[in-house]
Amino acid sequence: MKSGGYDVVVIGAGPSGSICARNLARRGYQVLLAEKRPVVGVPVRCGEATGPKKRLSDFMDVNEAYIETSFSGVILHGPGGIDIRYDGDKELGVMLDRILFDQDLANQAAREGAELQVDARISGISPEQNGTRTLTLEQGGKTHSIQAKMVVGADGAESLSGRWVGLKTRQLPPWTCTAIELRIKAEDKNPNHLTFWQGHDSINKGYIWVFPKVKSKVVNLGSGVLVPKLGEKNMYDFSMEYKNRFFPDAEIEEVHGGCVPVSGNLEEYVADRFLLSGDAAHHTNPLTGGGIMAGIVAAEAAAKWIDFGFKARNLSKTFLEQYQQECWNRFGRNHRKEARIRDFVLGLGPRHQEVFYRAFKGMVNGKFSTPSKAIGFAKLGILAARNPGLTKKAFF
Amino acid sequence: MGTIPRQARDGAPAVPRKKQNKVLLLDREKCISCAGCVGVCPDLAMDMFGVDLQIFQDKCTYCTLCVRFCPVGALTIEKLPA
């Protein structure tokens, strides 16, 4: 650890933190990447599905080692026995091996010159003083205090760094998902599809998923819901029920879980010489819970604006709000739309939900010539779900 | 249910509470180190040390949020004998 201090300290070596550290180190800054876990990437806290390789390659050199499967379709089991199957001819996304993925990104950051410290827990951030922030770092029973001109909090859903500097980043119960995932030694019947169960027949306030990981011959079976009431069945028992139903004899290799912020972007996640990125800033898709892509996009934007800030000798909150604006433009607006869709679907009663799913199925199965026609039909479906009586008269 | 989150009241001064004869217990065998409870706790009453969850009993106000959250049911609030 250097005594002279750093230009940037990045807290957390997940995808977002590593990409931010890598891009800053590439631009010639002194970067410290501090990870509190002893091994980068362990334990996994993720469903491990993300966007297509083509999108990933905009941000990194994709290494085949951590690509497990590429999927091109989705199967959605809705309420009332409505099964929606979508087979695309293009790649929809890939399954990752998150441990290798995180480690590869952290290595990339280290190769560009960032200093990676593991088992290094940041336990406090001071207010800004004379253009630096002082961080308390605990490593191996010793406490160090380090100076940084800029701090990036990329410490995931359990982020405390934002709360130390006075940002309101706590996970609030109506907009937080609790999730668990069982890694099962089995092979899925549909290796090129992601499978979901959603709706009043299975689980309303969330969904259950089965993601195949073909290369390592395992299946990720998980479930996530908005934080339940006290005394409701916990997610582990729920997942076990589905495991016993679909993979009765298979062995469970590992259990992991986590917290998924589904509020959409926070209103404010920058401060003087401080910004949040990735899950810490709630950069997750409120409909699907996926956050790898948004975290990477946000990290790239963060590195860009920090670079501009250093060049302009201005890392104040007002300047960094431009980063917030860029995140909003690149994915935040879409996330808010998706949050509205989610609230609408989850708010429907059993009967209304069935009508909605039927309309949705029609949309997926019908061949639409243009996307706008599909969106128009989806709107019609929502209208139909809102007025079930009218729909019945018109169609059934 | 609105989509824009109501902001947390982290900055507000702690409300003095009557001392309760309770304790927040963690079953370390069940815990999967997902750290979700750290994110939902309004009182900063727990933190991860590496992959180890530590609970600071003096800060806990027994709001049961983490108990509701925990996906494996590793956290419980027990009453102490008087």
Task: Determine the pLDDT at residue B31.
Answer: 93
- Say whether residue B49 is in contact with chain A using an 8 A CB cutoff: yes
Q: What dihedral do alpha carbons A371, A93, A70, A342 form, nearest 10°?
A: -90
Task: Determine the pLDDT at residue A378.
Answer: 66
Task: Determine the pLDDT at residue A128.
Answer: 92
Residue B7 — very low, low, confident or very high, per pLDDT cuts 50/70/90?
Answer: very low
With a CB cutoff of 8 Å and minimum separation 6, the contacts of A258 are: A45, A46, A157, A179, B34, B35, B36
Q: Is the pLDDT of residue A191 over 50?
A: yes
Q: Is the pLDDT of residue A371 over 90?
A: no
For residue range A297-345, list pLDDT tens digits in order.
999 999 999 999 999 999 999 999 999 999 999 999 999 988 988 888 8
> How many contacts does A have with B, using Cβ atoms within 8 A?
133
Residues of A in contact with B61 (CB under 8 A): none
Contact A340 B33 (CB under 8 A): no
Contact B50 A119 (CB under 8 A): yes
Search chain B and give the residue with CA nearest A263: B5
Share of chain B above pLDDT 70, in %: 77
Residues of B in contact with A43 (CB under 8 A): 32-34, 51
Q: Is the pLDDT of residue B53 over 60?
A: yes
Q: Is the pLDDT of residue A194 over 90?
A: yes
Task: Determine the pLDDT at residue A135.
Answer: 95
Average pLDDT, chain B: 80
Average pLDDT, chain A: 90
Report CA-CA distances (Å) from A222 to A48, A180, A239. 11, 5, 6
Residue A204 — very low, low, confident or very high, per pLDDT cuts 50/70/90?
Answer: confident
The CA distance from A252 to the nearest CA of chain B, in Å, is: 14
Task: Determine the pLDDT at residue A353.
Answer: 84
What mean pLDDT comes out for the span A353-368?
Answer: 76
Residue A360 — very low, low, confident or very high, per pLDDT cuts 50/70/90?
Answer: confident
Task: Determine the pLDDT at residue A325.
Answer: 96
Give the three-state DSSP class for B26: strand
Share of chain A above pLDDT 70, in %: 94
CB A295 within 8 A of CB A101: no
Contact A235 B42 (CB under 8 A): no
Q: Is the pLDDT of residue A73 over 80?
A: yes
Search chain B and give the residue with CA nearest A237: B72
Partner residue facing B47 (CB), from A160, A178, A180 = A160
Residues of B in contact with A339 (CB under 8 A): 3
Is the backbone of residue A134 left (phi > 0), alpha (psi -120 to 50) or beta? beta
Search chain A and give the residue with CA nearest B44: A160
Partner residue facing A168 (CB), from B4, B8, B70 = B8
Contact B50 A234 (CB under 8 A): no
What mean pLDDT comes out for the span A357-363?
Answer: 78
Task: Determine the pLDDT at residue A367.
Answer: 55
Task: Determine the pLDDT at residue B17.
Answer: 56
Q: What six digits make up the tokens of A23?
A: 């891009």
Residue B6 — very low, low, confident or very high, per pLDDT cuts 50/70/90?
Answer: very low
Task: Determine the pLDDT at residue A18.
Answer: 96
Residues of B in contact with A337 (CB under 8 A): none
What mean pLDDT comes out for the span B50-61?
Answer: 89
What mean pLDDT comes out for the span A4-33?
Answer: 95
- Say whether residue B29 is in contact with chain A using an 8 A CB cutoff: no
What mean pLDDT comes out for the span A21-38?
Answer: 95
- Say whether residue B53 is in contact with chain A using an 8 A CB cutoff: no
What mean pLDDT comes out for the span B26-34?
Answer: 92
What mean pLDDT comes out for the span A270-275?
Answer: 95
Q: Is the pLDDT of residue B9 over 60?
A: no
Residues of B in contact with A157 (CB under 8 A): 35-36, 39
Residues of A in contact with B11 (CB under 8 A): 166, 168
Contact A259 B34 (CB under 8 A): yes
Q: Is the pLDDT of residue A382 over 90?
A: no
Task: Determine the pLDDT at residue B11.
Answer: 47
Residue B12 — very low, low, confident or very high, per pLDDT cuts 50/70/90?
Answer: very low
Search chain A and give the residue with CA nearest B37: A158
Instruction: Determine the distance from the C-alpha atom of residue A135 to the mean position of all C-alpha atoms in its chain, rounded to a whole number.
Output: 27
With a CB cutoff of 8 Å and minimum separation 6, the contacts of A367 are: none
For residue range A232-265, list pLDDT tens digits in order.
888 899 899 999 999 999 999 999 998 999 999 9
Q: Which of A46, A161, A27 is nearest to A102 (CA)?
A: A46
Q: Is the pLDDT of residue A162 over 90?
A: yes
Residues of A in contact with B36 (CB under 8 A): 157-158, 171, 176, 178, 257-259
Contact A228 B68 (CB under 8 A): yes
Q: Is the pLDDT of residue A174 over 50?
A: yes
Search chain A and give the residue with CA nearest B9: A168
Q: Is the pLDDT of residue A391 over 80?
A: no
Report CA-CA distances (Å) from A377 to A77, A89, A245, A374. 20, 22, 35, 5
- Say whether residue B11 is in contact with chain A using an 8 A CB cutoff: yes
Task: Determine the pLDDT at residue A373.
Answer: 65
Contact A160 B38 (CB under 8 A): yes
Partner residue facing B39 (CB), from A158, A166, A179 = A158
What is the C-alpha to C-alpha distance for residues A310 and A302, in angstroms, rounded to an integer?
Answer: 12
